[in-house]
Amino acid sequence: MSLEERRLALEERRELRLGGLEERRMALEERREQRLGEIEKKQLALDERREERLLATYGGREPGAPTPKRDSKITEYQQMWSRFWFASGAQMLPNSQDPYISRVALIDMLISDGFSEHRIKVALNPSGPSLVGSLVGSELIRPSGHGWVALGVFADDLRAQQKVEMNPSALLRPYRTQGTQ
């Protein structure tokens, strides 16, 4: 083979390689586009799921918006004690006029609320995180005789509620503008 023939053969091979490379490059480009399309679809699906989770978690609020505060256990126990006190007759200590509920009355109220015997024992535990324990620990009630008496602002709130219960018109006060009598 002559030198010219070799050169032609090499050029032919080079052209075949380049043609084969071009075909491979085109095939790779097509696969890359397919993969990018699949990735975009997956990304959209992930974004949709993320948005659904955010909506479920934040209840339609923006993630940076403050969450509405849930009542604390102490507040729940105050409301429960208040409800039980009213339902048991809204007794007051004779000498101080502080709201008082006897142990028996509280047990009766817990039973009527559907508490089991075990839950009643837990609720009356003065040293645990329970109805009585939490309120005593927060100094909202204290033991007195055979029951508990409300203290401070909690007692004042109960007294005010009792006045409203006894006389609902006490809430309706005439509106007076300045200079009008």
Dihedral of alpha carbons 137, 143, 146, 150, sign: negative
Q: Are 120 and 165 within 8 A, CB to CB? A: no
Domain region containing 103: 73-165
Q: How high is the pLDDT of residue 44?
A: 86
Cβ contacts of residue 140 below 8 Å, gap of 6+?
74, 78, 81, 150, 151, 152, 154
Q: How high is the pLDDT of residue 175?
A: 47
Q: Are residues 81 and 151 both part of a single domain?
A: yes
Does residue 173 lie within any of the structural domains?
Answer: no
Number of domains in the chain: 2
Q: How high is the pLDDT of residue 168?
A: 55
Q: Are residues 53 and 100 both part of a single domain?
A: no
Q: Are residues 55 and 79 both part of a single domain?
A: no
Q: Are 82 and 71 within 8 A, CB to CB? A: no
Q: Are residues 123 and 101 both part of a single domain?
A: yes
Q: Helix, strand or coil for residue 115?
A: coil
Cβ contacts of residue 158 below 8 Å, gap of 6+?
82, 85, 90, 99, 150
Does residue 116 lie within any of the structural domains?
Answer: yes
Does residue 63 lie within any of the structural domains?
Answer: yes
User: For the chain (length 181 residues), average pLDDT per consecutive 10?
Assistant: 76 71 76 83 85 69 57 82 84 83 88 88 84 86 88 84 66 49 48
Does residue 176 lie within any of the structural domains?
Answer: no
Residues 48, 46: Cα–Cα separation, whole Å? 5
Does residue 53 lie within any of the structural domains?
Answer: yes
Q: How high is the pLDDT of residue 39?
A: 83
Does residue 38 lie within any of the structural domains?
Answer: yes
Q: How high is the pLDDT of residue 167?
A: 60
Q: Are residues 77 and 161 both part of a single domain?
A: yes
- Helix or strand (DSSP H, E) at 111: helix 103-112
Q: How high is the pLDDT of residue 65?
A: 58
Q: How high is the pLDDT of residue 176?
A: 47
Does residue 108 lie within any of the structural domains?
Answer: yes
Does residue 2 lie within any of the structural domains?
Answer: yes
Task: Label residue 164 left, alpha or beta by phi (over 0 means left) and psi (-120 to 50 means alpha).
Answer: alpha
Q: How high is the pLDDT of residue 69?
A: 56
Question: Beta-carbon neighbour count of residue 147 at 10 Å?
Answer: 17
Q: Where are the beta strands (DSSP E) in 75-146?
A: 100-102, 141-144
Q: Are residues 81 and 147 both part of a single domain?
A: yes
What predicted TM-score, i.e. pTM, was given to this entire model?
0.52
Q: How high is the pLDDT of residue 32?
A: 82
Q: Are residues 4 and 39 both part of a single domain?
A: yes
Q: How high is the pLDDT of residue 66?
A: 58
Q: How high is the pLDDT of residue 51?
A: 81
